[in-house]
Amino acid sequence: MIIELAILNVKKGKQKAFENDFLEASQYISSIEGYLAHSLKKCIEIENQYLLLVEWNSIEAHEVGFRKSPQYLKWKTLLHDYYDPFPQVLHYEDITQKV
C-alpha cells in the first residue's frame, strides 16, 4: 500500500467552498481501480491549510490510473483553482512491516 500526501493551501476566504467541492470530487477519486481510502484534515493553526491523505494499492494506481482518467479531469476542474501555491504531492510506503 502507498499513501499519497499533499498539503493543500487554499486561497483565503475560499475554505467553505473548497470543502463543499471536495465532497463532490471525492466520488471521482474513489471510483478508480487501486484506490483504497482517503481523508481530508483541516489544520487547526492555519485556517486555510488542509492535509490530503489517499491510500492506493500502488503509485501506478494514482499516477496512471487516476491522473490519466476522465475522473481526474472532473477532480481537477472542481479543485485545482483553490490552491495557492499548487501542492507538492508525495508518496510514502510503510516500512514498519519491513523492519
Tens-digit pLDDT profile for residues 31-51: 999 999 999 999 999 999 999
| Count of structural domains within the chain | 1
Q: For 63, what's the count of Cα atoms within 13 Å in the CB-facing half-sphere?
A: 8
Tens-digit pLDDT profile for residues 51-62: 999 999 999 999
Asked whether residue 99 is domain-assigned, the answer is no
Residue ranges making up the domain that contains 80: 2-93
Q: What is the pTM of this model?
A: 0.94
Contacts of 76 (CB under 8 A, 6+ apart): none
Whichever domain contains 6, its CATH number is: 3.30.70.100
pLDDT band at 97 (very low <50, low <70, confident <90, very high): confident
